Amino acid sequence: MNDVAVLGGGMTLFRRRLKETGKELSFQAAKMALEEAGIDNSDIDMVVMGSAPCAFDGIHMKGENLLDGAGAKDKPYVRVFNGGGTGVFAPIAGWWHVASGVADMVMVVCEEKMGGCYPHPQTAFQTIWDPILDRPLTPNLVWLFAMEMNRYMTKHNIKKEDIARVAVKNKKNAVGHPCAQLPDEKITVDDVLNSEMMAWPVNRLDISPPSDGASALIFCNEKKARQFTDDPVLVDGVGWNIASSMWTNRDLYFPQYVANAARMAYKMAGIRNPRKEIDFAEPYDPFTYKELHHMEGLLLCDKGEAPILTREGVTERDGDMPICPSGGLLGVGNPIAATMGQKICELYWQLAGKAGKRQIPGDPQVGVGQAWGDIMQMGTVMVLRR
Amino acid sequence: MTFLEKQTNPLDPVHYRGNLQVDNLYTSGAAGDRFFKHLMENDTFLASECKECGTVFFPPRLYCEDCFVEIPEENWFEVPAAGTVRLFTRAKLNTYGEKLEEPKIIALIDIEDTDGAHLGVIKSDEPDKDFMGKKVEAVLRPKKDREGTIKDILYFQVL
Amino acid sequence: MTEEKIQGHPKYAPGTHVSSKDIREKKVTYTWWEVEAQYAYSVGPANSRFLKELKKGNIVARKCKPCGRVIVPPRMFCEHCYGPTDEWVYLQDTGQVETFSRSYLDPDANRIEDPILVGVVSIDGASPKHGFMHYFGEMDPEDLHIGMKVKAVWKPEEERTGSIRDIKYFKPLEGGDE
């Protein structure tokens, strides 16, 4: 298997609605990644597209629609998709193109346009459920995550204010991010707790916004990458795992599938003690409690311990284990697949020392990014090392 | 592996009805918005040219998919709302398989002074004739009725 | 395109924000399209029996002999043992609340005044943690809690159609909470 290096990343503005088409956003993100890598699109052997449900963009088989903006014309090209897990699964697919040796240079582009879906992106989400058993009850995703959050809180006796701290931290972290949709320097725990009740125990500020946006990342065979840099950031491990679709037949308090994916990635990376060997993490945070749930799934702390670490400041940018230094989905926005920008591009920028105002102090060497999707069942994990 | 139980009674539930209803608002995009806003005020089209390879895009694009460079606004220009028929077909059925009263002539039209083409409808007093290679021009909505969508082009007529 | 140069990467943030007001005032052009696709989903043998029994006021499960699981909603195969399940088992129409929410959002994310009480009920007679999503009723919303014993409230027989909604909701089981 070949070692794989990261050469550059790019992302567009994240907003509730952008004027640009999905193709145009893909082009803008890809262009930025090529600029950072210092290469032309003609240097790219193959392209991977990550994009979530077609119903958001309203274009069926949107992989085909987006390909020219992703620079994939006349090239080997594939779209991958596993719901919210796509933002980390698309780079995993990009990695295996290079690791397997079928390509030396691969561009991964992730795109989402949710602003055009009416009456609300939740309407499209209704059709992800089992049509016979679940849909007649007209569920929406906020209900589902409220139920999971409740189970998690009840199991570990967690207070809502400890979960609200995640929104405060991430929205503050996002202040240094030029693409951020909801950065907020002044937000307090009380603001989160007093925001509108959506579905108990989820308040409005516990939720990341729907967004339009795109992101891009370039992977390169490590030997070839030495032409571009003496100190490459390498993909050290990847993992992915999915639980049963029968979500009403399993306990929701712990994301076992994330732990399975993390163990797979850590084994590949030779990481035996993730708490000591990993310097920072970008777990998937579409809801406040998910960051905590995923820290536990990533084996960065004990079950039920993540809220305590958050309260003690361990997860702040200057803490012992910075979590979501990008600002995460809560601060930067949630164009589903394009959150590769916060989850994997950010790992690269942090490890390369290029994160500017968001840079973690102390010269981090190892970071882990993770995404989560489908009906509370998909875990995707990638470890990067400098 | 086979299921040990079969459905044998046709009166047992077999199907469950459902639908998928999502409405979409598609912004025209950075390039599309410029194109349609021009079309609302003018009786001509816009095209954009990649100066690297010389391709003239119609519909105009923000970027060249071959050279992968952005096309700046100064490389946009007006072209006639007219072209030449490259391909055509006479549709006799609608989307639902029902017979149309009059055949609908659907054509791929190479737009003049560009490397691009437009899929449009031709209206003609002689619908049965051969339209291959014929020069056609766009018939647009009256300016006051234009709304900035592709439907502002009503149809094409043979010159 | 805004090119807000800042220190670090991403160096700029391309893209043009369009607000709802911009759309209402037609400051940008757009195309509107309504998709309406109709489906007849095949229910399959497991759901067919499940729905038929719901119409009669029964909740049925499938038992997998190799792992001993009593599975509801029933399935013709066991995803653990990866073989066919073996027999039908009638369950009770009682159970306990595994988790729940009080939702102030309707299915299209519109705001509503009276919360919808929704959650997962594990059904008595099935394996632990095995159940399905449903509504709750006939209770003070604040009383709803994880571990609460509940019982199905069925629609009148003549109104049942062979649907998960033949159960109207679950209500507190009398004498259920110790």
* pLDDT-above-70 percentage for chain C: 96
User: Does C118 sit within 8 Å of A143, measured CB to CB?
Assistant: yes
User: Which pLDDT does position C5 carry in this prediction?
Assistant: 40
User: Is the predicted pLDDT of residue C79 greater than 90, yes or no?
Assistant: yes
User: Is the predicted pLDDT of residue B8 greater than 80, yes or no?
Assistant: no
Domain limits, chain C: 44-172
User: Does A20 sit within 8 Å of B29, measured CB to CB?
Assistant: yes
How far apart CA A115 and CA A122 sit, in angstroms, is 11
Q: Tens of pLDDT along A241-263?
A: 999 999 999 999 999 999 999 99
Contacts of A40 in chain B (CB under 8 A): 68
- A31 in a domain, yes or no? yes
Nearest alpha carbon to residue A246 among C53, C99, C132: C132
Q: Tens of pLDDT along B18-33?
A: 888 889 999 999 999 9
Three-class SS state of A235: strand
Locate C114 and state its tokens. Answer: 């009276």
Three-class SS state of A384: strand
Global ipTM? 0.90
User: Is the predicted pLDDT of residue B10 greater than 90, yes or no?
Assistant: no
Q: How far is B144 from chain C (nearest CA, A)?
A: 15
User: Which pLDDT does position A242 carry in this prediction?
Assistant: 97
Helix axis angle, A288-297 relative to A256-269, nearest 10°? Answer: 50
Q: Tens of pLDDT along A72-117?
A: 999 999 999 999 999 999 999 999 999 999 999 999 999 999 998 8
Q: Tens of pLDDT along A329-370?
A: 999 999 999 999 999 999 999 999 999 999 999 999 999 999
In A, minimum Cα distance to B19 occurs at A127
User: Does C164 sit within 8 Å of A137, measured CB to CB?
Assistant: yes
Contacts of B16 in chain C (CB under 8 A): 40-41, 43, 47, 51, 163
Locate C63 and state its tokens. Answer: 């038992």
Q: How far is B8 from chain C (nearest CA, A)?
A: 9
How far apart CA B102 and CA B123 sit, in angstroms, is 11
How far apart CA A26 and CA A209 sit, in angstroms, is 20
User: Does C98 sit within 8 Å of A251, measured CB to CB?
Assistant: yes
CA distances from C99 to A89, A148, B114, C123, C142 (A): 29, 7, 62, 13, 14
What is the average pLDDT score of chain A?
Answer: 96
Closest CB to A24 among B18, B25, B31: B31
C157: phi then psi, degrees, rounded to nearest 5: -50, -40
> For residues A35, A40, A41 and A45, what is the CA-based torsion angle, rounded to 10 degrees?
-120
Q: Give the Cα-Cα-Cα angle C148, C150, C152 (nearest 5 degrees).
A: 160
In A, minimum Cα distance to C10 occurs at A10
Q: Give residue A203's pLDDT band: very low, low, confident or very high (50, 70, 90).
A: very high
User: Is the predicted pLDDT of residue B85 greater than 90, yes or no?
Assistant: yes
* pLDDT-above-90 percentage for chain C: 87
Residues A56-65, mean pLDDT to the nearest whole number: 91
A344: phi then psi, degrees, rounded to nearest 5: -120, -45
Lowest mean pLDDT among A159-163, A211-215, B9-13, B108-112: B9-13
Contacts of C30 in chain B (CB under 8 A): 25-28, 148-149
How far apart CA A353 and CA A356 sit, in angstroms, is 8
Contacts of C41 in chain B (CB under 8 A): 15-18
In C, minimum Cα distance to B62 occurs at C1
How far apart CA A282 and CA A272 sit, in angstroms, is 19
User: Which pLDDT does position C88 carry in this prediction?
Assistant: 97
Q: Give residue C177's pLDDT band: very low, low, confident or very high (50, 70, 90).
A: low
Cβ proximity of A75 and A277 under 8 Å: no
Q: How far is B63 from chain A (nearest CA, A)?
A: 8
A268: phi then psi, degrees, rounded to nearest 5: -65, -35
Q: Give residue B12's pLDDT band: very low, low, confident or very high (50, 70, 90).
A: confident
A340: phi then psi, degrees, rounded to nearest 5: -50, -30
User: Is the predicted pLDDT of residue A224 greater than 80, yes or no?
Assistant: yes
Q: Which residues 137-156 on chain B approach chain C with CB closer than 8 angstroms?
A: 147-150
Q: Give residue B1's pLDDT band: very low, low, confident or very high (50, 70, 90).
A: low
Q: How many CA atoms lie within 13 A of B1 on its CB side?
A: 10
Collect all residues with Cβ–Cβ distance below 8 Å to C108 and sequence separation of at least 6: A119, A120, A122, A123, A140
Q: Give residue C4's pLDDT band: very low, low, confident or very high (50, 70, 90).
A: very low
B76: phi then psi, degrees, rounded to nearest 5: -100, 145
In A, minimum Cα distance to C167 occurs at A137
A134 touches chain C (CB under 8 A): yes
- A152 in a domain, yes or no? no
B31 touches chain A (CB under 8 A): yes
Residues A197-224, mean pLDDT to the nearest whole number: 97
Peptide linkage before C73 cis (omega within 30 of 0): yes
Suggest the residue from B21, B63, B69 to mutate for an interface test with chain A (most A CBs closer than 10 A): B63
Q: Give residue C1's pLDDT band: very low, low, confident or very high (50, 70, 90).
A: very low
Handedness of CA B51, B55, B59, B62 (dihedral sign): negative
Locate A63 and state its tokens. Answer: 């992989």
Contacts of A19 in chain B (CB under 8 A): 27, 29-30, 33
Among all chains, which residue has been given the structure tokens 């089209």?
Answer: B45
Peptide linkage before A209 cis (omega within 30 of 0): no
How far apart CA B5 and CA A170 sit, in angstroms, is 53
Q: Tens of pLDDT along C144-157?
A: 999 999 999 999 99
Q: How many domains does chain A have?
A: 1
Residues A13-19, mean pLDDT to the nearest whole number: 97
How far apart CA B57 and CA B34 sit, in angstroms, is 14
Residues C32-41, mean pLDDT to the nearest whole number: 88
Suggest the residue from C24, C26, C31, C80 to mutate for an interface test with chain B (most B CBs closer than 10 A): C31
